[in-house]
Structure 1
Amino acid sequence: MAYNATALVRLAALKALAAKTKAEIDNINTDVSKAIKSLGVSGNTVSFYTSADKSGDAAFTFDFPKELFLDQAKTTFVQKFAFSTETYPGATDPKLAGKPVMVLAVKGQNPDSCTYSFLDMSALVDTYKAKATGKDASTTITVSGYEIEVKVNVSAAAGNALSLKADGLYVDISGKADKAKNATSGNFAALDANGNLTDSGKKPADFVAAETGKRLMTDAEGTKLGDIAEGATKVEKSATNGNVKINGVETVVYTEPSDVIHGTVASDEDVTAMLTEVFGA
């Protein structure tokens, strides 16, 4: 249903809205007191409390199946995996010998039994082969005293700026900001897309010299100033309810009728007093 969003409202209607809002807030505060604020875990039992420090009786609890809990003592990362039925009873050889493997052990119904899962971590772990001989500082990096060989692939496509030589990588800067082209007499010099000097095509006469107290104006700004009527007035906010200031003079826009039929316009003080009555100071 459409309505006038700028219409003035009776203070009684605003008070009714405030009272309804306070009732909703009181209801929310009551519900919050019953909310779960902390939880505790003991074994596979999870308990939920309405107190922040897990004091008192739990609001409710539930048990996870024991077989869903990892055995922290048997869950481990093995850098070079070797399978054996003695180490992983009941498991099937995952064929990951020599690889970095994350072993996950899940407790079974029997406290001494586990179900094992093996995650191949070789795709996530970088492995390098150290060079013990034939070191070349330009193509290796040093880790803990060992040099690790680094292979560099350089494209042979035309225009490639990188070239690989026996003693390292080189960058071809020919044609890259290494040439200068003089500007035409009387023109300003500029830089082209490659950073080379070039003729801007602009002369000093193309620019307006800066002067103190003056600035350039856009066409839109000039049009805006030109639309201001002769003898235009300045309108500003007034401290008096129902008034505006026109050229500094207080001007009445509307008055506050006192008859019961039309009611009155509520002032900021009226609204503040009503809200204090409903919500408290």
Structure 2
Amino acid sequence: MTGQAPIEIDTSKPHPARMYDWFLGGKDNYPVDEEMGRQLVALEPRVPAMAQVNRAFMHRATRWLAMNGVRQFLDIGTGIPTEPNLHQIAQQVAPDARVVYCDNDPIVLAHAEALLRSTPEGVTEYLQADVREPATIIEEARKVLDFTQPVALSLIALLHFIADEDGAYELVEKLLAELPSGSYLMLSHASDETDPEKGAKAMAIYRARGMTLALRDGEQIGRFFDGLELVDPGVALAVDWKPELGEIVEYGGEGPVPGYGAVGRKP
């Protein structure tokens, strides 16, 4: 593993990776994560379903990319490992796929062994870094990935934790600028489009904990793909993105789960 540092987990404040684990029914979280998670579920009972829909989108998008010739993946904001993870989906289709995972939460590092169980033909690697350090990520990823060949940049449920004023769009531009023609951007993103009032309350919950939540509508999410060729069906509700590829989550409640997914190709 590259970028390894002593594992010091801050359990005094919640972290998105550990909250996501709690939403998915995992055990690698702390009371502070569950407390905030319960606040969000009380506000929006479909939050656990949103996490499941998001994960299913990642599976389908990864499968589509591998089926269409992509053999290298850079996954930033990896989160705590769950089965199957991105490398397992990609290597089911293409055993020689190479995957670099990246996250900034030390608890992910503590579980990184599960991320590194590659097929003999492929490679998986993990580095601890923050998406706000794109130069560091690219430098480390170059040690594993061949940047003369297409790379799929995976930003799953990550960008809604970075505000516009913190350079969300610029970060994506910097990462994509390092990737060759034929590379792809795969992302999912929570939205407040269907209920802005509820979205504002969710953002206030995050602010009260010193965290950022930057919900965006479909048009704003589409801006991350400026200059890219969107794969059909474009920027779509995550549950509606190529459902024929499997993993469709059944959920209760009224209306669609408010989250988007999309994949775009760099010309």
Bigger radius of gyration, 1 or 2?
A: 1
Shared topology, TM-score over 0.5? Answer: no
More helix per residue:
2
- Tell me the TM-score normalised to structure 1 length: 0.15
More strand per residue:
1
- Tell me the TM-score normalised to structure 2 length: 0.16
